[in-house]
Amino acid sequence: MATITTRTAAEESVASLTGSGVHPLLARAYAARGIAGPEQLDTALERLLPPDSMLNLARMATLLADAIAGTMRLLIVADYDADGATACAVGLRALRAMKANVDYLVPNRFEYGYGLTPEIVQLAAREKAPAVIITVDNGIASVDGVAEANRLGIKVLVTDHHLPGDTLPDAWCIINPNQQGCNFPSKHLAGVGVMFYLMLALRAELRRRGAADLPNLAQLLDLVALGTVADVVRLDDNNRILVHQGLQRIRAGRAQPGVAALLRMAGRDPARAGTHDLGFAAGPRLNAAGRLDDMSLGIECLATDDAARAQAIARELDTLNRERRTIEAQMQESALASLEQSADAGGYTLSLYDTAWHPGVIGIVASRIKDRFHRPAVAFAPGGIGEIKGSGRSIRSLHLRDALDLVAKRAPGMILGFGGHAAAAGLTLREGDFGRFRSLFEDVVRSLLSPADLDNEIATDGSLPVEHATLDAAHALRDGIWGQGFPEPCFVDPFTIVQQRVVGERHLKLRLERQGKRFDGMLFGHSEPLPGAIRAVYRFSVNEYNGTTASQLLLDHWEPL
Assign 3-class secondary structure to 305-341.
Answer: CCHHHHHHHHHHHHHHHHHHHHHHHHHHHHHHHHHHC
Same-domain pairing of 166 and 119: yes
Closest CA to 158 of 183, 177, 181: 177
DSSP string, 218-255: GGGHHHHHHHHHHTT----HHHHHHHHHHHHHHHTT-S
Dist CA 334 CA 352 (whole Å): 10
| 539 strand-pairing partners | 554
Q: Are residues 89 and 218 in the same domain?
A: yes
pLDDT of residue 343: 56
- Give the model's pLDDT for residue 345: 58
Largest interatomic CA distance in the chain: 75
Backbone angles phi, psi at 352, to 5 degrees: -130, 145
246 found inside a domain: yes
* Ranges of the chain whose pLDDT falls below 50: none
Determine, yes or no, domain membership for 19: no
Which of these, 313, 319, 377, lies nearest to 344 by C-alpha position? 377
- Dihedral sign for Cα 148, 150, 154, 155, please: positive
- Per the structure, how many domains does the chain have? 3
- Rounded Cα gap, residues 502 and 358, in angstroms: 33
Kindly report the length of the chain: 561
What pLDDT score was predicted for residue 547?
80
**Pairing between strand 533-545 and 507-514?**
unpaired
- At 381 the three-state DSSP class reads strand
Asked whether residue 372 falls in the same domain as residue 516, the answer is: no
Residue 216 has, within 13 A of its CA and on its CB side, a CA count of: 4
Phi, psi of 203 (to 5 degrees): -60, -40
* Alpha carbon distance 173, 189 (integer Å): 18
Provide the pairing of β-strand 517-523 with 507-514.
antiparallel
Whole-Å CA distances, 28 to 13, 285, 454, 519, 557: 8, 34, 28, 22, 22
Nearest-angstrom CA–CA distance, 426 and 257: 32
272 and 145 assigned to the same domain: yes
d(CA 540, CA 471): 9
Together in a domain, 229 and 301: yes
The pLDDT value recorded for residue 460 is: 97
Cβ contact 127:119 at 8 Å: no
Region of residue 108 (phi > 0: left; psi between -120 and 50: alpha; otherwise: beta): beta
Question: Within this chain, do residues 450 and 468 fall inside the same structural domain, yes or no?
Answer: no
| Pair (371, 277) in one structural domain | no
Shared domain for 235 and 247, answered yes or no, is: yes
Residue 152 placed within a domain = yes
Are residues 123 and 56 part of one domain? yes
Asked which of 266, 286, 319 is the last residue of a domain, the reply is 319
**386 and 517 in one domain?**
no
Give the Cα separation of 379 and 425 in Å (integer).
11
Phi, psi of 260, rounded to the nearest 5 degrees? -60, -40
| CATH number assigned to the domain comprising residue 516 | 2.40.50.460
Measured in whole angstroms, how far is the alpha carbon of residue 192 from the centre of its chain?
Answer: 11
Task: Report which secondary-structure segment, H or E, holds 87.
Answer: helix 82-97
pTM: 0.91
Q: In the β-sheet with 350-353, what is the strand arrangement from edge to edge?
A: 350-353, 377-382, 387-393, 424-430, 415-420
Residue 332 belongs to a domain? no
Report the sign of the C-alpha dihedral through residues 539, 540, 541, 543, in that order: positive
In a domain, 45, yes or no: no
CB 357 within 8 A of CB 379: yes
Q: Answer yes or no: is 138 within a domain.
A: yes
Residues 407 and 260 in one domain: no
Domain final position from 319, 354, 373: 319
Q: What angle is formed at CA 264 by the lines to CA 262 and CA 265, rounded to 5 degrees?
A: 65
How far is Cα 103 from Cα 128, in angstroms, rounded to an integer?
8
476 with 428, same domain?
Answer: no
Tell me the CA end-to-end span of the chain in Å, nearest whole number.
15
Question: Domain residues for 391?
Answer: 342-454
Query: Which residues, other chains included, contact 279 with Cβ-Cβ below 8 Å and sequence gap of 6+?
Result: 229, 230, 232, 483
The single-letter DSSP state of residue 470 is: -
- CA-derived radius of gyration, the chain: 24
Say if 328 falls within a structural domain. Answer: no
Last residue of a domain, one of 259, 287, 319: 319
The 3-class SS string of 336-363 reads HHHHHCCCHHHCCCEEEECCCCCCCCHH
Which CATH number characterizes residue 293's domain? Answer: 3.90.1640.30
Name the helix (H) or strand (E) containing 63: helix 57-69
Output DSSP code: residue 134: E
Q: Which CATH number characterizes residue 434's domain?
A: 3.10.310.30
Inside any domain, residue 101: yes
